[in-house]
Amino acid sequence: MTTVLLTGATGYIGSHTWLALQEAGFSVVGLDNFSNSSPEVLKRLHELSGVAPVFERASITDAAAMEAVFSRHRIDAVVHFAASKAVGESGAQPLAYYANNIGGLVTTCEAMRRHGVKTMVFSSSATVYGDPKYLPYDEAHPLSAMNVYGRTKLYGEQILRDLEASDPAWKIAWLRYFNPVGAHESGRIGEDPRGVPNNLMPYVTQVAVGRREFLQVFGGDYDTVDGTGVRDYLHVVDLAEGHVAALRHLLDQRRSLTVNLGAGHGHSVLQLVRAFERASGRPVPYRIVDRRPGDLPAFWADATLARQQLGWQTRRDLETMCADSWRWQQANPNGFDC
């Protein structure tokens, strides 16, 4: 059985990918330091999969701990989710972001190299495309970064390209995610941001459940279908299945790849709000306020390459994303703090 180490395993995307990998027949070792997730996730994963989670509480920045993890388990490949991801915070704490996202990546790769593990799936982001020169973004679009978080992804990608160039035995999947939303259909795991959500969907669900009074829509005068920002939302379970496809590609084809993981089309903020109201039967009061500094008006993926290379495309539509986000929020009004 192929054993995969998931860093950031109890986070939002990591937890859904953990289940998807197990369903696909992989054995999983999860690793997290709970800096942005809860140990409760492990109980829920056990309940959903029927398999007791194999888990290591450790930081990817701790070289000794990473060495111990690779010594204890026979790892075949790594899916590297662990990172800090708040754009605003990244500007205020650049050193912390570089230490975690870059230092942690290097430490993880060093432990892998020492143990002869040279297959990695890397969580990159559409943010590496920067200001759109054209849309949709395809994988050949020029790269640039608009904030510290974006630079950690851009530099992270480059570090892995240098590593692959130095030793072609490394097989790497650079996965550029668009905007994951939704939750597992059981309603038992989902996105549980700490404090005030930065992202649209968790904010919408917290308004619908009564935790917040109204949604602030950042900007109503963009050159888009209704003046509000447009993004490419994809269901987190589709995204998780994209990781399974990418890992299989690396293991079977022995070829690296860089692909967008997105739906291939965009929705505006108000389109998402309306879809959510339909799916939940709850009103989502909102007010249009100033644009959020640094926001792009619109972007979405060219999702052709993932379909061609991985046979992967999204299967769950916006209604399903909203219905699943709502099921999760309603059943867990305070997230994993139950």
Q: CB 146: neighbour CB atoms within 10 A?
A: 16
Measured from the CB atom, is 98 or 218 closer to ligand UDP? 218
* Cα four-point dihedral sign 103, 90, 200, 260: negative
Measured from the CB atom, is 118 or 153 closer to ligand UDP? 153
Which among 6-14, 138-146, 202-210, 280-288 is the span making contact with ligand NAD, rule CB under 6 A?
6-14
Query: What residue is closest to ligand UDP based on CB?
Result: 229
Place of tokens 């963009």: 222
Question: To the nearest whole angstrom, how small is the minimum distance from the Cβ of residue 256 to ligand UDP?
Answer: 26
Measured from the CB atom, is 96 or 227 closer to ligand NAD? 96
Question: To the nearest whole angstrom, how small is the minimum distance from the Cβ of residue 204 to ligand UDP?
Answer: 8
CA dist., res. 179 & res. 190, Å (int): 14
Instruction: Identify how many contiguous H helices and E strands the chain contains and give both numbers.
Output: 12, 13
> Does 180 sit near ligand NAD (CB under 6 A)?
yes
Question: To the nearest whole angstrom, how small is the minimum distance from the Cβ of residue 143 to ligand NAD?
Answer: 15
Residue 301 near residue 132 (C-beta atoms within 8 A): no
What radius of gyration, in Å, describes the C-alpha atoms of the chain? 19
Measured from the CB atom, is 13 or 215 closer to ligand UDP? 215
Q: Which does 85 bind (CB under 5 to 8 A by kind): ligand UDP, ligand NAD, none?
A: ligand NAD
Q: Which does 198 bind (CB under 5 to 8 A by kind): ligand NAD, ligand UDP, none?
A: ligand UDP
Q: Which does 217 bind (CB under 5 to 8 A by kind): ligand UDP, ligand NAD, none?
A: ligand UDP
Q: Are strands 171-177 and 119-125 parallel, antiparallel or unpaired?
A: parallel
Alpha-carbon torsion angle 85, 285, 220, 231, nearest 10:
40
The alpha helices in 198-268, defined as continuous H runs, are 200-208, 236-253
Q: Which of 100, 206, 280, 329 binds ligand NAD (CB under 6 A)?
A: 100
Residue 190's identity, in one-letter code, is G
DSSP class of residue 293?
Answer: T
Q: Pick the catalytic residue: 12, 97, 149, 286?
A: 149
Measured from the CB atom, is 220 or 242 closer to ligand UDP? 220
Catalytic residues: 149
